[in-house]
Amino acid sequence: MIRFEHVTKRYADGTTAVDDLSFEVAEGELVTLVGPSGCGKTTTMKMVNRLIEPTEGRIHVDGQDISEVDPVRLRRRIGYVIQQVGLFPHKTVLDNTATVPHLLGVTRAKARARAAELLHLVGLDPSVHGDRYPDQLSGGQRQRVGVARALAADPPVLLMDEPFGAVDPVVREHLQSEFLRLQSEMRKTVLFVTHDIEEAVRLGDRIAVYGQGRIEQFDAPATVLGAPATPYVADFVGADRGLKRLSVTPIEEGDLEQPPIVHLDDALPRELRSRWAVVLDRDDNLHGWISAERAAGGTGTVRDHARRMEAWLPLGASLKQAFATMLQHDAGWIAVIDREERGRFLGVLTPARLHEALRRSTAADAQDIPRTEVAVESIG
Ligand SMILES: Nc1ncnc2c1ncn2[C@@H]1O[C@H](COP(=O)(O)OP(=O)(O)OP(=O)(O)O)[C@@H](O)[C@H]1O
């Protein structure tokens, strides 16, 4: 969808900002460009909408060589969000958002109706915020308007240059989550510039880690964190990359242990093969747990003695969520359920298994094989 072929940009003063860059962003993919200040991220991005012309090489958008497309027409197909949102100060939020569709010939009434929808989509209430002026909004709200405005013409491609850079970390995380939710529905082709590795890892389907004017590694977040291609990348992603990996490594079925299981209507078991058992209902959905001690001393059915289980997650949740859930509930294990089949119990994740999953996924990335195929011996 966006393809760079041997693109170089040398500025008039001789600075080589981008050096022989080749990479591709697939349709519907979100690629984050991450790297230190001055490494050429913004230059890369601005060449896509022809705010900057390359010195050498070609860029294709949607199969078309953009040097042959009129820049104004090109930009209609490409949404652009920047840190200093660049809203028109004398226009209301609604009119700011409606500007581009209106310019494209949509009637004012229709453009405003669409703008109201988009404001909703980015979490702003048009009846509350629509008639305000940009300086009557918080920084986070202005960023949302910036995103809504970039989406107004429904462009297939979005360029985002540190769009959440100017807000505090809490608002930023919130904006990131909302953007991920939006993107899972819209599936735009997105090039997203950031200097924050956490943001790059969280948002990107793939990450391009920049050195000076060059891409040092272009891979999925888990691979960049688990198997940095060069010492430079390892240094850039940080010594705590194991921790960061937790957030991009999902719980898989192979990570789970199978504990003893009892059902709600069973008679109390005299003995369990461990200190506790998981309690399921008639449909094999998770209900809770029962301790061996309680089972041994009691009478009646499991139902009379079972406790509800609060520490559970759906399969596919991240190892980081698993760890946080264990801490939050002070639990020695968490239950994992099927996310499609209305809570069918799949197994439990223990701290030892979590640790093993993390090491296994690191080894898998280094060997470029699925996690389930990593031999346990090679983890050590
Ligand atoms: N108009 C220009 N003339 C000369 N040099 C420039 C120009 N614009 C950018 N540069 C230089 O090109 C290099 C890459 O700049 P660019 O803005 O692409 O980096 P960046 O990775 O986006 O940095 P930041 O994260 O600080 O925005 C830098 O060394 C910068 O000083």
Could you tell me the distance, in angstroms and rounded to a whole number, from the CA of residue 226 to the centre of ligand 1?
29
**Which atom of ligand 1 has the smallest separation from the CA of 45?**
18
The token pair that represents 70 in the structure block:
């009129």
Could you tell me the distance, in angstroms and rounded to a whole number, from the CA of residue 41 to the centre of ligand 1?
8
- H, E, C per residue of 311-332: CEEECCCEHHHHHHHHHHCCCC
22 CB within 6 A, ligand 1: no
pLDDT of res. 341:
66
Helix, strand, coil shares of the chain, percent, nearest 5, are: 40, 25, 35
For 99, 117, 139, the CA distances from 136, given in Å and listed in that order, are 19, 20, 10
Distance, in Å, from the CA atom of 223 to the CA atom of 22, rounded to the nearest integer, reads 20
pLDDT per residue as tens digits for the range 193-231: 998 888 998 899 999 999 988 999 999 888 888 788 999
Distance, in Å, from the CA atom of 92 to the CA atom of 89, rounded to the nearest integer, reads 8
Q: Domains in the chain, start-ordered, CATH in brackets?
A: 2-248 (3.40.50.300), 253-356 (3.10.580.10)
pTM summary value: 0.75
Residue with tokens 């990593």: 374
The token pair that represents 154 in the structure block:
């429904």
Residue type at position 56: E
ipTM: 0.94
| Cβ–Cβ under 8 Å, residues 213 and 19 | yes
Mean pLDDT over the full length of the chain: 88
pLDDT of res. 380:
42
Distance, in Å, from the CA atom of 149 to the CA atom of 235, rounded to the nearest integer, reads 37
14 CB within 6 A, ligand 1: no
Could you tell me the distance, in angstroms and rounded to a whole number, from the CA of residue 118 to the centre of ligand 1?
33
pLDDT per residue as tens digits for the range 284-307: 999 999 988 888 888 889 999 999
Could you tell me the distance, in angstroms and rounded to a whole number, from the CA of residue 207 to the centre of ligand 1?
20
Instruction: Name the band, by pLDDT with cuts 50, 70 and 90, for residue 265.
Output: very high
Query: Is residue 240 classed as helix, strand or coil in its secondary structure?
Result: coil
pLDDT per residue as tens digits for the range 122-157: 888 999 999 999 989 888 888 888 888 888 878 899
